[in-house]
Structure 1
Amino acid sequence: MASVVELDWQCNRTLVQCLDYMLTSGLACDVTFLVGEGKARLSAHRTILVARSPVFYAMLEGRLAERGEIIIPDISQESFSLLLRYVYTDDIKLTIANVTPVLSAARKYCVDQLVKKCEEFLQTNINAENVCLMLENSHMFMEENLRQNCFQIIHDSSEKILQTTDFTELCCACVKSITESDDLAVDESLVYEAVIRWSEAECGRQGLEVTDINRREVIGDILYTVRFPIMDTKYFAREISFRDILTTKEISNIYRYDKDNMFNLCKFSVSRRHKRKPKEGEFESVTRFGRTRRARRHIWNSTYGSDSIAFRSNEDVYLHGILTYGAQDGCEEIVIGVYNEKGDTLYRGSHSLSHKTYCQVVFDDVISVCRGETIDVVLHGGVHATAYGLDGKCTVQFQDVIITFLDSTSHPCVSTNATQGQIPGLLLSL
């Protein structure tokens, strides 16, 4: 039923404002919808609806047009109200909480401009903090494009997302879709720990005592997406082997696989997950010196020869290049080599230095550095540098990662070491 109507309500209102007033006041409505599980009554105007949506046109004016009150059971009252208001006004206030159900409703009724607006909102607002909510919504409303966008973010920030509270609030199907992915670029122990935290939350949701037996029960087939056979053996023995998450036979078989990689483990995958590909050109400078001093002409490199430094990281990182000091003569060619602790060449290339105090030298290829691995960076033949660094830091924090700088033992150098010299920084990404 229409609410009390203002006198001369049309005056001083635009067309859009008048249409909005007619919708919100219920004035002259000629169609009623019963929306959602509670069958909330929402009234509208046939003429407006059929002008804006081919689905509403078929529903209200086509050969199979419905008569009387129309039941809409699969859309919530809030989402249908927002859809109607957009149909009348071309205006909507989207939020992370309402955008997915509104998108689903807009697709159902072929309101294409609203679909586009929702997709643009998602493109600019979905991130690692809300991606679990968006993944759950994509599953609930069967939005495949949104699901793919969610997985791109999850694969880029796997470790962070697995540790969020939102991960523990996902449904079983969404958890499995994450943990079974080959592109989940984290250590397998983190996948296991995330599944355990989720199982504790799920036990609470189901009113079960948090025991290993109940954890196993609620985890179900998700358990087989955790790649126990490729875990660190010491971690498996210390954290898992004594618990009732796995059966005695499963534990025995995993140990047997560790001795014989040809042993068939049936349900457990032994494939290693793919490492996340670095994004070209996206890196940060990680510097190691507290002070920089200008070098007098030819004081550096005339007798010192090559310059080298070693480093290691407590997490997997990508090395995109290094920072160097500039060349005294304005332009100088240098050869840079990067080597692992076995002496394998990871990179070797020639680069030009300018006269700037600092030069970013970006490698032709990005180097994947595993946590705990010692890497040597060498300026072969050194450089006639404009400056050198002092008060070197042995450890530097890069986001949540610790980078440790060391004297190079594989390519020892008189002039450059962990506390002074050349190679003032690294270009890194996670």
Structure 2
Amino acid sequence: MEGNPTESSDWRKGKALVECHMYMWTNHIACDVIFVVGTEKEIIPAHKYILITRSSVFEAMFTGPFSTTREIILSDTDAVVFKDILKFLYSDEIDVSSENVTAILILAEHYSLHNLEDMCFQFLESHLSTQTACTAMETGHAYERSGLWEIAVDYIEMHASEVLQMTSSVSNLCHDCLHRLISSAQIDVKENVIFNAAIKWAESECGKRGRDVTPDALRDILGDTLFHIRFPLMSPDFFVNSVSRTGLLTEVERNAILETILCPKSKSSSFSGEPRKFVVRRVSRYPVHGEEWKYDWSYDDAVAFKCDRKIQVLGCILYGPKTEAKAEYTIKASIKGESQFTTTVEARSDDVTYDVMFPNALNVDANIVYTMTVTISGPPSFKGLCGMTKVVADGVTFWFSETSRSTNHTTTASGQIPGIIFKIVT
């Protein structure tokens, strides 16, 4: 019959409901509302029915007593992001990226798209990087998502050297978030990096607030945060050539700080000179333990390892007594023949493992294989089982392998040395 669509011309054939909706939207079939979006005034048609089913805001917009006309102007909205939002409303699919997550989250909140908000929060949590950490922290703070905020803070404290030198990221933080980082006792970074980040942030804030960048303006904007920068920990050269010349500090403050730098015992400055406490981290390669591991002072337990970031090894984790409630072990330990030392440790079976801290931290470069060796004298201990050859701990990837130095038969699969205690070098 003429005028009827043939089987081959029916675009609905083989399409699910969502696919039909998407086809109608992308081909502008029976659209009954038009959005004029962005500074370029891009025309984006849509269907009221679909929007109403997904958003209470659109429902009020189209059905309430103050319902709008067929054409809706959104001059302050990015057209690309708005089309992403519409795609989600039609299909439940959206491509969230580091570049668009903030813009999508703003519109998701505006249109009460709670599922999309959750997707954005989950994206930020699972895609933390030096580029996104500040965005995640600020987002967690602004939306009162404590879990996201805490994860982001931990990440920044761990990668502070890289994150705080990214001016564009730091400048997006509010004062409360900046203060939280600069006042942290655990942030792992040199004080000059903290100072530079604070200055760059304050300069950016001056621009946002329409103020000239002057020493008084910078100090006013930083407020109490300035007094959490630990100037006495800086080198005399950096303080004199980089800090003093900004004019941020008074002459009395500069003289007192310099006196404290040159003579720490004087403590003339009101600014703290207490070193920030770095975070001690651990990597464990055995998920389970059991059976007995015996020792002979003439045999060594050893494991080879490398990691993808520069770290400092602070010590090792060893298994404690299996057959006795409490026991004493004598341990001779070294890494690649360096930092060799002997110590005696009392261990309890309830704890399963015990720590052996090296007298001095040992620098370990990225992607270089090192061998940790221990010689132990003492009663039988637990041993590790089901060993893993690749472990990610606090953003650092470790690879473990076997070594001929292990004459007491510790391997990647089972044995001693279940873990390493380390600090990330920034």
Equivalence map 1:336-415=2 (5 Å): 348-351=345-348, 362-363=353-354, 382-383=377-378
Q: In structure 1, what is the equivalent of residue 79 of structure 2?
A: 77
- 1:96-147 Cα shifts (integer Å, max 9, x gaps): 21223212222222222222332332222223453245457778xx444354
What secondary structure does 1:428 align onto?
strand
TM-score normalized with structure 1 length: 0.58
- Mapped partners of 2:324, 2:170: distance in 1: 58
Distance 1:245 1:226, change over 3 A: farther
- 1:215-269 Cα shifts (integer Å, max 9, x gaps): 968955449537555533xx432221245134543311324565654x674xxx5
- 1:139-196 Cα shifts (integer Å, max 9, x gaps): 8xx4443544422311232234335xx3455327458446523245235434346438
Which one-letter code corresponds to 2:71 in the other structure? Answer: E
Contact 2:56 2:112 in 1 (8 A): yes
- Mapped partners of 1:147, 1:299: distance in 2: 49
- Mapped partners of 1:299, 1:276: distance in 2: 35
Q: In structure 1, what is the equivalent of residue 238 of structure 2?
A: 239
Distance 1:55 1:278, change over 3 A: farther
* Count of residue correspondences: 329
* Aligned residue among 86, 99, 102 for 2:101: 99
> Is 2:317 aligned against 1:321?
yes
- Mapped partners of 1:369, 1:24: distance in 2: 67
Q: In structure 1, what is the equivalent of residue 118 of structure 2?
A: 116
Q: In structure 2, what is the equivalent of residue 171 of structure 1?
A: 171
Q: In structure 1, what is the equivalent of residue 254 of structure 2?
A: 251
Distance 1:135 1:385, change over 3 A: closer
Distance 1:178 1:381, change over 3 A: closer
What secondary structure does 2:104 align onto?
helix
Equivalence map 1:21-40=2 (5 Å): 21-40=23-42
Contact 1:33 1:69 in 2 (8 A): yes
Runs of at least 5 residues in structure 1 that lack an aligned partner in the other structure: 1-5, 207-212, 286-296, 302-313, 339-345, 353-359, 374-378, 387-398, 401-422
What secondary structure does 1:151 align onto?
helix
Runs of at least 5 residues in structure 2 that lack an aligned partner in the other structure: 1-7, 287-294, 300-309, 333-342, 364-373, 382-395, 398-415
Contact 2:33 2:45 in 1 (8 A): yes
What secondary structure does 2:317 align onto?
strand
Q: In structure 2, what is the equivalent of residue 275 of structure 1?
A: 277
* Aligned residue among 328, 339, 347 for 1:334: 328
Which one-letter code corresponds to 1:245 in the other structure? Answer: T
- Mapped partners of 2:297, 2:180: distance in 1: 56
Contact 1:319 1:427 in 2 (8 A): yes
- Mapped partners of 1:158, 1:197: distance in 2: 16
- Mapped partners of 1:369, 1:131: distance in 2: 34
1:361 to partner: Cα distance:
7.5
Distance 1:11 1:155, change over 3 A: same
Distance 1:81 1:315, change over 3 A: closer
Distance 1:385 1:187, change over 3 A: same
Distance 1:126 1:385, change over 3 A: same
- 1:372-395 Cα shifts (integer Å, max 9, x gaps): 99xxxxx99944899xxxxxxxxx
Q: In structure 1, what is the equivalent of residue 159 of structure 2?
A: 157
Which one-letter code corresponds to 1:130 in the other structure? Answer: T
Which one-letter code corresponds to 2:346 in the other structure? Answer: G
Distance 1:33 1:241, change over 3 A: same
Which one-letter code corresponds to 1:54 in the other structure? Answer: S
What secondary structure does 1:241 align onto?
helix
1:321 to partner: Cα distance:
2.4
Contact 2:48 2:62 in 1 (8 A): yes
Distance 1:19 1:330, change over 3 A: same
Q: In structure 1, what is the equivalent of residue 52 of structure 2?
A: 50
Distance 1:61 1:156, change over 3 A: same
- 1:340-386 Cα shifts (integer Å, max 9, x gaps): xxxxxx9953256xxxxxxx98327x97988699xxxxx99944899
Contact 1:188 1:227 in 2 (8 A): no
- 1:309-362 Cα shifts (integer Å, max 9, x gaps): xxxxx98765462489x99x9999434699xxxxxxx9953256xxxxxxx983
Distance 1:110 1:155, change over 3 A: same
TM-score normalized with structure 2 length: 0.59
Which one-letter code corresponds to 1:363 in the other structure? Answer: Y
What secondary structure does 1:270 align onto?
coil
- Mapped partners of 1:88, 1:95: distance in 2: 19
Equivalence map 1:125-204=2 (5 Å): 125-132=127-134, 134-135=136-137, 142-145=142-145, 146-163=148-165, 166-167=166-167, 170-171=170-171, 173=173, 176-177=178-179, 179-192=181-194, 194-195=196-197, 198=200
What secondary structure does 2:52 align onto?
helix
- Mapped partners of 1:49, 1:103: distance in 2: 17
1:19 to partner: Cα distance:
0.7
- 1:56-89 Cα shifts (integer Å, max 9, x gaps): 1111112232224223345321221111111111
1:92 to partner: Cα distance:
1.5
